[in-house]
Structure 1
Amino acid sequence: MRMLGLVALVIMLCAGACTSAPPEPARVADHTVDPSFVHGTDQGETDRLAATVVTDAQKYWAMQFPATFGAPWRDLDGGFFSVDANGTGAPPPCAGDVHDIEGNAYYCATVDAIAWDRSALLPVLREHYGDASVAVVLAHEIGHAVQQRAGMDASGGAVRLEHMADCYSGSFISWVVDGHSEHLHISPEQLDSAMRALTVFRDPVSPNRTKDTDAHGTAFDRISAFQSGFVEGPRRCADVTGKSLAAPAPDNPNMPLDDAMRTDHVSAYFRDLVARRGGQWTPPVVRAAPGCPEASGPAAFCAQPPTVVVDRAALSEPYRSIGDQAVTTLLVSRFALAALTEMGRPTTGAEAGKQIACLTGAYTAAQPALSPGDLDEALEIVLESDAVSRDAHGTNSLTGFDRVAAFRTGAVGGAPACG
């Protein structure tokens, strides 16, 4: 039996009794498809959304598969299965019991079918990441059906197959964002929220994570593959290697907040960068808020005199919720802005924001003994916080998707790739 799936470790953000009703999901379908073709459907809103996603995804591949692989597309022979993992009904294909699918969605290659848990996985995704996250997840499973039809196997490793499925998911979502889907529409804000789901459903940090049969890769790996498909289309997905930027290694415990706020190594990195570009580095003084009028957020840069203003209380929140590398990343972004100033580069507007995020990625990848966990923490704060790409006026012009794309450019290509 071969099963490829999300292996979704569902994280409930509202623990215990909530004092207020959850917000309405950010909807991506004004008109949904009748889910009567889905085995076991309860005809509810969640299954209607899932049915709409897989319907439009198969329409997408009916057009793209021949162009990509030179053969016609075939809709899934084994169909689709909606499961109440808390129930007692018959299990879907590739599962011995209904409880086996709890918090999960998967593609079952032996019968060419996709199953999802409508009782825990999809409702949690909708509540915390919006309806677009359901589209991302189910498009990933359709991606495994694409692999099966293209004759791809696991010879390159399970992680590579998962990254390729993320890439295929990205290519479909891009088609939706561009307005070509019959039923679905996804805004930039909805896309950012859906990408956060990929950062949650990542592998535990482990030296052997690439050897696990159900490995999916780090958050950085998954987002990178998704964005490759989104930007470059499905042909790009065959080039996905499954190799991680950070060497597999156990994550280290968080260092104390004050240690995470140390910037000696950061300043030395940007001193050398500015010197290579023919500039003169003046190390910014790091001091506590308040700062200059344009200073805003947990960390800010003031050009006259060069100063990085930090709000320790504000930095303690990403430190607690994400980790020490999130704090480092926020500070690095301000040193990146200082470097742009010293090199005479533009420091305001969207292009400056991209340069800041790119140089932040370059520094992150250049850190000695960078662990996958550290890289994921950096990626998460880049996606979550517009403070990373704020320009000299304290203004952000980038979506989370754009910040991450620029960050990845620097992380993979180093500072020269930032221009």
Structure 2
Amino acid sequence: MKRWTALTAADNISARRGASADVPAPPEPATGGKLDVVRAIGLVALVILVIAGGCTAAPPEPARVVDHTVDPAFVHGTDQGDADRVAATVVTDVQRFWAAQYPAVFGKPWRDLDGGFFSVDTNSTGVPPPCATDVKDIEGNAYYCATVDAIAWDRAALLPVLREHYGDASVVVVLAHEIGHAVQQRAGMDVDDASVRLEAMADCYSGSFVRWVVDGHAEHLRIDPEQLDRAMRAIVVFRDPVNTSTTAAHGTAFDRVSAFQSGFRDGARRCADVTETSLAAPVPDDANKPLDEALRADRISGYFGDLVTQRGGRWTAPDVRSTPACPGTTGPATFCAQPPAIVIDRAAITEPHRRIGGQAATTLLASRFALAALTELGRPTTGAAASTQITCLTGAYTAVQPGLSQGDLDEAVTIVLESDDVARDAQGTNTLTGFARLEAFRTGALGGATAC
């Protein structure tokens, strides 16, 4: 018997904020408690998608992810509705992907799921799916049940919320992750282990499938860069708590993004290489840093100063101030080349500090020091290549901060994904998608400044 903790975005946010009086507490989750399943590997997603005490729908997608749907008649318990049609289409294309990839990766033929797929309306009573004793056990969730080789999802409280807030591509990511556990079971892995490594591998398998879709190989699915960015936000939300020692095993936002992007970039064959070693350690009481502490520039300046001098440049530490603004630039933190200065708009930078956390403000500030370093070294400071280097160097600095916690790292990941400001070049322009910014940030965080 395994006992899974239902995780929410509110859990992560409230733990990081502490009791700051100017930050409203997140709403109480509509559902909660524990999920009891037998030999089930789940997303553990109990979806209360609350960011900064509020929950707003994302803008409509400009294009459909599902080109044409598959009849969900093969799904046990389906209501033939739109949510199940999307889910049925996704699992059909994922299994077709593995029919081609599994023999190439594991040297054996792929076998479609023996136990099939189960759609559950958790607003009603009825026969529970495999690995559950009650329909409420799957509320807001999706999981793989190894005992009967089946996947179940909540069509009432999971799929509609995913689609509303993160788009249909998030459903693709979630269900491809669950079929990733079926891949592990077929490959002889112990799917009962519930380790971060197994979850990271499933994220990696999901990423390899999504790349196949993005490249135009799927029969029914299409994912464009904007839709992919929205799905990445779902991955960031569905992370383990970072403030305490926990038995939850899905990994931090950085862990999950890294695994997914590894599969996306390198393919399914490389997913066996993922590890459960995190870049930062959990901290028992990881309170949010006050804004002034988050904006301390001495360590950031020292890091980038050393970087410039080691590469033969001459470092002039930028003057960090609040006024006057740099001509022709806007944002929470901006860089003026002559004379070198970084201007902080405290009102603008307070918003991500309040909503995401102290490391979000630090990351924005560090990105301007990265631009200053490129300027001092005579490197290009405009265009996509410059934005990539700025974001990569920001990741490199983030990884070497003393006392970096998992919560800090996840706050940095969140602001990099959400905000163009981290990657803005000397002209205040960013052409990188959130996905590309995350990839550049990861490159720096994992490989250091030399990788940038």
User: Does the pair score TM above 0.5?
Assistant: yes
Query: Which of 111, 124, 142 in structure 1 is aligned with 2:148?
Result: 111
Instruction: Provide the C-alpha distance between the structure 1 equivalents of 2:403 and 2:48, rounded to a whole number of angstroms.
Output: 29
Q: 1:313 to 1:167 in 2, by over 3 A?
A: same
What is the correspondence of 1:51-200 to structure 2 with a 5 Å cutoff?
Answer: 51-153=88-190, 158-200=195-237
What is the correspondence of 1:256-295 to structure 2 with a 5 Å cutoff?
Answer: 256-295=290-329
Instruction: Provide the C-alpha distance between the structure 2 equivalents of 1:206 and 1:117, rounded to a whole number of angstroms.
Output: 28
Structure with higher helix content: 1
SS in 1 for 2:304: helix
Contact residue 294 and residue 392 of structure 1 kept, 8 A: no
Give the AA of the match of 1:370: L
Contact residue 251 and residue 372 of structure 1 kept, 8 A: no
Give the AA of the match of 2:430: N
Which residue does the alignment assign to 1:235? 269
Aligned length in residues: 414
Q: 1:155 to 1:57 in 2, by over 3 A?
A: closer
1:312 matched to 2:312? The reply is no
What is the correspondence of 1:203-242 to structure 2 with a 5 Å cutoff?
Answer: 203-209=240-246, 212=247, 214-242=248-276
Give the AA of the match of 1:408: R
Contact residue 62 and residue 74 of structure 1 kept, 8 A: yes
Contact residue 192 and residue 400 of structure 1 kept, 8 A: yes
1:379 matched to 2:416? The reply is no
Which residue does the alignment assign to 2:389? 355
Give the AA of the match of 2:369: F
Give the AA of the match of 1:127: E
Instruction: Provide the C-alpha distance between the structure 1 equivalents of 2:127 and 2:52, rounded to a whole number of angstroms.
Output: 30
SS in 2 for 1:49: helix
Instruction: Provide the C-alpha distance between the structure 2 equivalents of 1:15 and 1:193, rounded to a whole number of angstroms.
Output: 17
Task: Tell me how far 1:50 sits from its aligned partner.
Answer: 0.4
SS in 1 for 2:143: strand
Report which stretch shifted further, 363-372 or 21-30.
Answer: 21-30
Which residue does the alignment assign to 2:22? none
Report which stretch shifted further, 1-10 or 171-180.
Answer: 1-10
Contact residue 204 and residue 268 of structure 2 kept, 8 A: yes
Contact residue 330 and residue 388 of structure 1 kept, 8 A: yes
SS in 2 for 1:300: strand
Task: Tell me how far 1:205 sits from its aligned partner.
Answer: 1.3
SS in 1 for 2:208: helix
Report which stretch shifted further, 130-139 or 6-15.
Answer: 6-15
Report which stretch shifted further, 258-267 or 148-157.
Answer: 148-157
1:326 matched to 2:360? The reply is yes
Instruction: Provide the C-alpha distance between the structure 1 equivalents of 2:303 and 2:92, rounded to a whole number of angstroms.
Output: 50
Which residue does the alignment assign to 1:201? 238
1:50 matched to 2:87? The reply is yes
Contact residue 163 and residue 222 of structure 1 kept, 8 A: yes
Q: 1:266 to 1:100 in 2, by over 3 A?
A: same
Percent identity over paired residues:
74
Task: Tell me how far 1:258 sits from its aligned partner.
Answer: 2.0
Instruction: Provide the C-alpha distance between the structure 2 equivalents of 1:305 and 1:169, rounded to a whole number of angstroms.
Output: 47
Give the AA of the match of 2:368: R
Task: Tell me how far 1:248 sits from its aligned partner.
Answer: 2.8
SS in 2 for 1:283: coil
Instruction: Provide the C-alpha distance between the structure 2 equivalents of 1:251 and 1:411, rounded to a whole number of angstroms.
Output: 23
TM-score, normalising length from structure 2? 0.88
Task: Tell me how far 1:402 sits from its aligned partner.
Answer: 0.7
Structure 1 residues without counterparts, runs of 5 or longer: none
Instruction: Provide the C-alpha distance between the structure 2 equivalents of 1:14 and 1:144, rounded to a whole number of angstroms.
Output: 29
Task: Tell me how far 1:290 sits from its aligned partner.
Answer: 4.3
TM-score, normalising length from structure 1? 0.95
Structure 2 residues without counterparts, runs of 5 or longer: 1-37
Q: CA RMSD in A?
A: 1.9
Instruction: Provide the C-alpha distance between the structure 2 equivalents of 1:208 and 1:256, rounded to a whole number of angstroms.
Output: 24
Instruction: Provide the C-alpha distance between the structure 2 equivalents of 1:23 and 1:353, rounded to a whole number of angstroms.
Output: 25
Which residue does the alignment assign to 2:29? none
Instruction: Provide the C-alpha distance between the structure 2 equivalents of 1:389 and 1:17, rounded to a whole number of angstroms.
Output: 26
Report which stretch shifted further, 283-292 or 367-376.
Answer: 283-292
Which residue does the alignment assign to 1:388? 422
